[in-house]
C-alpha cells in the first residue's frame, strides 16, 4: 500500500513512445508492450516489461508466497496465478492508456537483423492499445483496416520481426513449425472437441521481440558477472552421445564428423537432420536423445537456439524467474 514507484526520480519517462501490447484477446495479465522506430542503420526496438518488483518488497510475506509458487499454472479454461490478480491484472499489467512502471529493453537491431547495443531502463510507459493476436495477424496480412491508427509502430515492428527472424534462421536455430491443437471445453470443463491450429504471424512477431530482449538480458547478466538465472540447454544428453554418434553414422553419415558439444556442430547436425531432402523424419527421431532446458547460475550455451547465452526476463507477472 505504501509503494509509489511512479513517484521516484530514477524512472525515465517514456510515456511519449507509442507502445502497444499484442496478446490473446482475453488476456489481462499483460507482461509486455512493444514499440519500434527506424534508425540510421536499422531499427531501435523497445520491449517494455511489467515491473512487479516495484510493488513486491523483498522481505515481505507476499514475496515469499510468490517465490514459493514460482509460476502461474495454466489449465484449459482456468489459471492458478502466481501473483495476486489485483497486481497481475491491474496494478502491474501494462494496460491500455495507463501509466505503469516498467523495465524497458532498448536494443539496436541492424538492417540484417543482428542484435546490437542495448540498454535496460527503469521507466514509466503508457500502452496506447491492447491489440489481439488475431486482429494484428489480419492487419499484417492486409485484411484489417481498423488498426490503421497504429500502423506506424506496427509496420516498424513487422520490419524488425522479419529482420530478426531472417538472421536467426541463417545463424541460429528456429523451432520447426509443427501442428498444434487446442482443446475446446464445454460448460462442465470436459473436452468437447479438439481443433488444430497454426501459430499466427502476430505471435511469431511477439516471440521474436521477446527472444531479442531475453538475449540482451543474458548478455547484461553475464557482463556484470551476475549469478543468473540463465536458461541453458546442453543439446544431446551426455549419457547418450555414443548412441547419437551411432544414429548419425547410420542415417546421416555426412553429419557424423560434426562435434555435438559445440554450438556450431549442434546447429549443423540439427539443420542437416531437418533438411527437406531427408527420406526419414530424422529430426523428430533424435528427440529422445536430447536434454531439457535448465535454469543455471552460470551463463552457458543454449544449444536448442544455437545461442551462447539466454535467459527469461519477459514474463514477470507469470514467472518468478
- Residues labelled as active-site residues: 23, 29, 31-32, 133, 318
Give rounded-to-5 percent helix, strand, coil for the chain: 35, 25, 35
Helix H or strand E segment including 47: strand 42-50
Closest by alpha carbon to 20, among 159, 162, 131, 164? 131
| CA dihedral for 118, 123, 129, 133, sign (positive or negative) | positive
With 0-12 CB in 10 A as exposed, 13-18 as middle and 19+ as buried, what is 269?
buried
DSSP 91: I
**Distance, CA of 127 to CA of 17 (rounded, Å):** 9
DSSP 109-127: EETT--EEEEEEEEEEEEB
The neighbouring-strand residues paired with 294 are: 232
C-alpha 12/C-alpha 163 separation (Å) is 28
Amino acid at each position: 500500500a505504501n509503494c509509489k514507484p511512479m513517484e521516484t526520480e530514477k524512472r525515465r519517462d517514456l510515456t511519449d513512445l507509442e507502445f502497444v501490447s499484442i496478446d490473446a484477446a482475453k488476456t489481462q495479465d499483460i507482461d509486455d508492450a512493444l514499440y519500434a522506430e527506424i534508425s540510421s542503420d536499422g531499427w531501435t526496438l523497445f520491449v517494455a516489461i511489467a515491473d512487479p518488483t516495484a510493488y513486491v518488497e523483498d522481505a515481505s510475506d507476499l514475496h515469499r508466497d510468490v517465490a514459493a509458487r514460482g509460476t502461474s499454472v495454466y489449465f484449459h479454461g482456468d489459471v492458478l496465478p502466481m501473483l495476486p490478480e489485483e497486481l497481475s491484472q491491474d496494478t502491474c499489467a501494462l494496460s491500455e492508456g495507463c501509466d505503469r512502471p516498467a523495465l524497458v529493453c532498448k536494443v539496436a537491431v541492424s538492417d540484417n537483423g543482428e542484435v546490437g547495443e542495448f540498454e535496460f531502463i527503469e521507466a514509466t510507459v503508457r500502452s496506447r492499445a491492447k491489440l489481439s493476436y488475431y486482429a494484428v495477424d489480419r492487419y499484417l496480412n492486409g485484411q484489417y483496416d481498423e488498426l490503421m491508427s497504429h500502423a506506424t509502430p506496427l509496420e516498424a515492428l513487422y520490419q524488425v520481426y522479419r529482420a530478426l527472424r531472417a538472421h536467426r534462421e541463417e545463424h541460429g536455430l528456429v523451432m520447426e513449425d509443427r501442428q498444434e491443437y487446442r482443446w475446446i471445453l464445454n460448460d462442465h470443463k470436459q473436452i468437447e472437441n479438439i481443433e488444430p491450429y497454426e501459430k499466427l504471424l502476430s505471435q511469431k512477431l511477439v516471440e521474436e521481440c521477446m527472444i531479442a530482449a531475453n538475449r540482451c538480458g543474458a548478455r547484461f547478466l553475464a557482463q556484470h558477472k551476475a549469478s543468473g538465472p540463465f536458461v541453458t540447454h546442453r543439446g544431446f544428453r551426455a549419457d547418450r552421445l555414443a548412441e547419437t554418434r551411432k544414429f548419425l553414422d547410420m542415417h546421416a553419415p555426412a553429419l557424423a564428423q560434426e562435434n555435438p558439444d559445440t554450438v556450431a556442430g549442434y546447429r549443423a547436425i540439427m539443420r542437416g537432420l531437418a533438411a527437406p531432402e531427408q527420406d526419414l523424419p530424422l529430426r523428430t527421431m533424435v528427440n529422445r536423445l536430447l536434454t531439457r532446458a535448465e535454469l543455471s547460475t552460470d551463463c552457458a550455451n543454449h544449444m536448442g537456439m544455437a545461442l551462447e547465452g539466454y535467459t527469461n526476463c519477459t514474463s514477470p507477472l507469470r514467472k518468478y524467474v
